[in-house]
Structure 1
Amino acid sequence: MTRPPYAVREVAVVVAVLELGLVLLAPYYGPHRDELYFVAAGQHLAWGYPDQPALTPLLARLADLVAPGNLVVLRIPSTLASVGVVLLSAQAARLLGGRRASQVATAVVVGFSVLVPGLGHLLSTATFDMLLWTAVLVVVMQALLDDRPRLWLLAGALAGLGLNNKHAMVFCLLGVLVGVAAVEETRPVLRTRWPWLGGLIALAMWIPNLVWQALHGWPVFALAADIAREYGGVGGRLGLVLEVLVMFSPLIAAVWILGLVRLMQRPDWVLVRPVAVAFLVVLGVFVITGGKGYYLAGLVPVLIAAGLTSLVHKPSGRRRLEQATTRGLAITSAVLVASAAVAYPAVLPLLPASTYAGSVWADLDGGQLDTIGWPEYAGQVSAVIEQLTEPERASVVIFTGNYGEAGAMEWYGVGRPVYSGHNGYQEWGPPPEDATPVIVVFPTNPSKWFRACEDRLKLNNEADAPNEEVGVGIWVCAGPRGSWADAWDELSHYSA
């Protein structure tokens, strides 16, 4: 099958601008609570953790080995993942018959949407999830369009990598399987060995993490239940649909919805119709079970490619018509990017921290609030340590209520061992039985678990960012009531 060449130079310019922007913004505001946790998890490498597999903590460990405590280096993998999403999106447009204008428009709209730079700014499982879902879909598209069955093996390897990043890759594979089975023209592929061999490759790569989960009592299901409780009600389901519609920008939603419709309708795209079916299947699953809208992020870039490509006339030999179409596509792309740029301060550190904290952008998406205040919180805990006697300072340990606080104490170096019962941290404790006194960073009086507790200070930050740490108490306690082992059972908890 003859198709247009890849618009290498033009797409390279797009990704270079995106990469440069993300690198320049990488030092600000500070590490996200999840990034702090991933760095800590990277110090305890394993085949899995209660809340995710091993890939992202491994990348955090590698970054920390290269440049300890360097936020730019920590975030480089995510910036490259966002670039990868853009490159794959342009390839999707090419596979759909899109010429240079369609490919470049797709790269621009995907690369400068709200979500792609936002996820590229932080080291996050969601960033690599988006990349690997997009990669699986593009490889499946090429396998179906070009009748290259061995590409299913590559799709399986990519899926296996994705399963070692986030378990949600299962739903991507489910969507693809249902999509291929639902379309008459692609159904015969399932009677060949190649998709199933690809599935076996993915499963083989996933087995170490599954073994880890089994040996630890399948904590992933406890986390899934917590997510379902939070997002499974009527409000949560409506919120998921709304998030899906706005996460790239509301105007860009019109483009990918058009792409979804065209993939379902156009006879010449019937072989890639499973991609559209996959989106509908995965959306349906998360609406029913409860989930977060960005779980579907990796399905949308291909739909954007389809929507923009469908706006362009096929080559007709009429130069004026083609030029007019190209100009129209350029104007459309500019409008779409402008609509997304309005929301950039919500996901990128473009404003002073204090300005952002009190702005409508923080109300729109408060994710960046979790990147503000950590140095001050660590400094306030250090100040309480300094109030102790010299023997107490030599033996004191820190216990925090969540992994963000624990990770911050380690990242900024309070100088004493840090423990928490939250998610993966519970696997790395408890402290030694003779570890006393205890500085407890906790939102309520911890006297239920610790004895002789004295409230010394409340956490606060100069930017007045209203994150969940503000007002949390720093308590000095003589030690746990009973043994640390007994207290640990009560203090350990899972939450997403």
Structure 2
Amino acid sequence: MPINTAPSRTSPIWILILLMLTKIVLQYWVVNSNYDLQRDEYLHLDMANHLAGGYISVPPFISWNSVLIQWLGNGIFWVRFFPAFYGALTMLLMWKMIEMAGGGIFAQLLAAFTFLFSGMTRLQIFYQPNSVDILSWTIVFWLLMKYIRQPKDTYLIWIGIVVGVGILNKYNIIFLVLGVVAGLLLTKYREVFTRRAFYAGVLLALIIISPNLVWQFRHGFPVIHHMKELSSSQLVNVSRIGFIIDQFIFFLGGAFLILAGLISLLFYKPFRAYRIVLIIFTITISLFVYFRAKSYYSLGLYPIIFAFGSTWWEQLFNRFRYGRVAWLVIIVLPFFLIFKAIFPVLTPEEIAREGEKYRMLGILKWEDGKDHEIPQDFADMLGWREMAELAQQAWEKIPENERKNALILCDNYGQAGALNYFNKGKTPPAVAMEADYVFWFPKTDSIHYVLRVGHAPDSGFLKLIGKIETIGKLATPYSRERDWQTEVYLLSDFSPEVKNKFRALLSKKQGNYAAY
């Protein structure tokens, strides 16, 4: 039976537009110009030059977005624009969900301020799949709300399409799918399993993700290797209690809306039809806790929770309208009190001087489980330009007639991606014995020079190299690459054994990424 809890009139559209523009501008404002892009961003941008049905670390959606960025000039402005834009679209859907839940302008401002002045803004600094992931989850919930209000087959089909695109962006949305399926089975909405439209949606989702499934099959399902590696090197350091605490810390002064949303879905009668959302939330969060997921994996759950929480909060304070401003201040104030600590607005030197404040907030802990001088994401945004300049200096030392026989080899994907971003057109593409770059190597039949970025060759290769020239050592303070003592070398005068030994190593590295 269709339900209707919409308010009698919608809020002024200009307020929504102003908030969406604020979201986009805010994402630029919270990044100091001293920082480059983050290491993962360079890999994602480089994927535009290697279009495929999938990649070791991510599905293919971000590579298509990277092609668009290239068409627009490949500048940092556009790299930062798209995460901000997807965040603004998420706000738009949250605004519309509040209208469906029966909320007015105060509820919409509560939710919008919580979204703006929270960890969401920190996450959406970076050009990663996370912004589209959160948007995909929000679209699914928006369509689910529309289906609950008016059970049309169209909404089920569109949910299937969105899930398919969401999986092509990040596999994380599969946890939401499990939560939704469980929620449907445990409520009266299990009737969707008798509808042809539901299976049409499932079929469309499978068709959409089929290129990635084929790619995974042909490459031995490297996603399994990636998940095992992630679990052993990073997720093993995740605390389950810490995960739960972080859900509230992400939203600072607006965290009360999480509790408001969960309580209202359980007890507030006008939301009775939407209690499936509470079941989905509970099951999905439980799965994340069980698998020791990173705290931000669950952020796609919150736009709909804020929609219900803010609507209920508006009803609670319906008779105390003058106190509503105070609640908005409560949301905004903590953000501006600590935003220098959670965003890269200060220089690395300034952050290091205020290290204790950062340590108290727990944001100096890196994926190795240890505290460092500056946050890991910030350390991963330093040194790349200097590295590219050193590599360019090394390249110019190679005789022009030998450059066709030269290889640029890096230790890690961040180095290779950064060189390809800053030196595109000046040098051939750099590669690395890591991540997707193991499949992007050029032919190595005749290599006379190797421009090496990272560490000196290991002992197994060292005795086979006649000449090693050190070009320079990365000196950018607080860069993670500097901590790793990254250097640039020019190698030449190789023994004939090098070619076969190198091919064997590359083949082994490629094989390591296959699950079978």
Q: Does the alignment reach a TM-score above 0.5?
A: yes
Q: Any conservation in 2 of the 1:83–1:111 contact (CA below 8 Å)?
A: no
Question: Within 1, Cα distance between the matches of 2:73 and 2:29?
Answer: 17
Match of 1:253 among 247, 252, 255: 255
Residue 81 of structure 1 aligns with an amino acid whose one-letter code is Y
* 1:172-211 alignment, distance < 5 Å: 172-183=176-187, 185-211=188-214
Which residue pairs with 1:340 in the alignment?
335
Which residue pairs with 1:402 in the alignment?
412
Question: Within 2, Cα distance between the matches of 1:6 and 1:240?
Answer: 37
Match of 2:318 among 316, 322, 326: 322
Match of 2:109 among 79, 85, 104: 104
In the TM superposition, structure 1's runs of 4+ consecutive aligned residues that sit over 4 Å from their partners are 23-27, 386-394, 466-470, 491-495
1:376 maps to 2:386: yes
Residue 421 of structure 1 aligns with an amino acid whose one-letter code is M
After superposition, the Cα gap between the structure-2 partners of 1:26 and 1:232, relative to the gap in structure 1 and judged at 3 Å, is: closer
Residue 246 of structure 2 aligns with an amino acid whose one-letter code is E
- The 10-residue stretch of structure 1 (125-134 or 331-340) with the greater mean CA deviation from structure 2: 331-340
Question: Within 1, Cα distance between the matches of 2:402 and 2:482?
Answer: 29
Which residue pairs with 2:346 in the alignment?
351
- Residue by residue over 1:316-372, the C-alpha shift from the partner in whole angstroms, topping out at 9 and shown as x without a partner, is xxxxx73624x4333212212222334433554322344246544462743122122
Q: Any conservation in 1 of the 2:266–2:272 contact (CA below 8 Å)?
A: yes
1:39 maps to 2:51: no
How far residue 190 of structure 1 moved from its aligned partner, in angstroms, is 3.2
Which residue pairs with 1:456 in the alignment?
470
* 1:249-328 alignment, distance < 5 Å: 249=252, 251-313=253-315, 322=318, 324-325=320-321, 327-328=322-323
3-state DSSP of counterpart to 1:313: helix
Which residue pairs with 1:131 in the alignment?
135
Question: Within 2, Cα distance between the matches of 1:134 and 1:408?
Answer: 32
- The 10-residue stretch of structure 1 (461-470 or 416-425) with the greater mean CA deviation from structure 2: 461-470
Q: Any conservation in 2 of the 1:113–1:341 contact (CA below 8 Å)?
A: no
- Residue by residue over 1:383-436, the C-alpha shift from the partner in whole angstroms, topping out at 9 and shown as x without a partner, is 334455666656332111211100111111162441112211111115422123
Question: Within 1, Cα distance between the matches of 2:243 and 2:194?
Answer: 35
- The 10-residue stretch of structure 1 (101-110 or 342-351) with the greater mean CA deviation from structure 2: 342-351
Question: Within 2, Cα distance between the matches of 1:391 and 1:240?
Answer: 56
Q: Any conservation in 1 of the 2:238–2:294 contact (CA below 8 Å)?
A: no
How far residue 438 of structure 1 moved from its aligned partner, in angstroms, is 1.3
After superposition, the Cα gap between the structure-2 partners of 1:444 and 1:175, relative to the gap in structure 1 and judged at 3 Å, is: farther
1:427 maps to 2:423: no
1:122 maps to 2:136: no
Question: Within 1, Cα distance between the matches of 2:148 and 2:481?
Answer: 47
Which residue pairs with 1:317 in the alignment?
none
Residue 94 of structure 1 aligns with an amino acid whose one-letter code is E
How far residue 472 of structure 1 moved from its aligned partner, in angstroms, is 1.9
Root mean square deviation of aligned Cα: 2.7
Q: Any conservation in 2 of the 1:430–1:488 contact (CA below 8 Å)?
A: no
Question: Within 2, Cα distance between the matches of 1:44 and 1:127?
Answer: 22
Q: Any conservation in 2 of the 1:114–1:343 contact (CA below 8 Å)?
A: no
Which residue pairs with 1:53 in the alignment?
59
Residue 472 of structure 1 aligns with an amino acid whose one-letter code is T
- Residue by residue over 1:62-110, the C-alpha shift from the partner in whole angstroms, topping out at 9 and shown as x without a partner, is 1112213x11022222111010111111222222211121012211211
How far residue 488 of structure 1 moved from its aligned partner, in angstroms, is 0.6
Residue 506 of structure 2 aligns with an amino acid whose one-letter code is W
Q: Any conservation in 2 of the 1:231–1:237 contact (CA below 8 Å)?
A: no
How far residue 33 of structure 1 moved from its aligned partner, in angstroms, is 1.2
Match of 1:437 among 449, 453, 461: 449
3-state DSSP of counterpart to 1:205: helix
Provide the aligned length of Structure 1 versus Structure 2: 484
3-state DSSP of counterpart to 2:474: coil
After superposition, the Cα gap between the structure-2 partners of 1:256 and 1:15, relative to the gap in structure 1 and judged at 3 Å, is: same
1:159 maps to 2:169: no
Residue 86 of structure 1 aligns with an amino acid whose one-letter code is M
Question: Within 1, Cα distance between the matches of 2:410 and 2:10?
Answer: 51
After superposition, the Cα gap between the structure-2 partners of 1:176 and 1:346, relative to the gap in structure 1 and judged at 3 Å, is: farther
After superposition, the Cα gap between the structure-2 partners of 1:191 and 1:34, relative to the gap in structure 1 and judged at 3 Å, is: same
After superposition, the Cα gap between the structure-2 partners of 1:472 and 1:462, relative to the gap in structure 1 and judged at 3 Å, is: closer
Question: Within 1, Cα distance between the matches of 2:234 and 2:444?
Answer: 38
- The 10-residue stretch of structure 1 (391-400 or 295-304) with the greater mean CA deviation from structure 2: 391-400
Question: Within 1, Cα distance between the matches of 2:132 and 2:23?
Answer: 17
Residue 488 of structure 2 aligns with an amino acid whose one-letter code is I
Question: Within 2, Cα distance between the matches of 1:245 and 1:445?
Answer: 46
Q: Any conservation in 2 of the 1:105–1:333 contact (CA below 8 Å)?
A: yes
3-state DSSP of counterpart to 1:484: helix
1:366 maps to 2:368: no
Instruction: Report the TM-score, using the length of structure 2 for normalisation.
Output: 0.86
How far residue 461 of structure 1 moved from its aligned partner, in angstroms, is 4.0
- The 10-residue stretch of structure 1 (167-176 or 451-460) with the greater mean CA deviation from structure 2: 451-460
- The 10-residue stretch of structure 1 (447-456 or 398-407) with the greater mean CA deviation from structure 2: 447-456
Q: Any conservation in 2 of the 1:419–1:431 contact (CA below 8 Å)?
A: no
In structure 1, runs of 5+ residues without a counterpart are 315-320
Question: Within 2, Cα distance between the matches of 1:96 and 1:247?
Answer: 24
Question: Within 2, Cα distance between the matches of 1:190 and 1:397?
Answer: 56
After superposition, the Cα gap between the structure-2 partners of 1:26 and 1:370, relative to the gap in structure 1 and judged at 3 Å, is: same
Q: Any conservation in 2 of the 1:439–1:474 contact (CA below 8 Å)?
A: yes
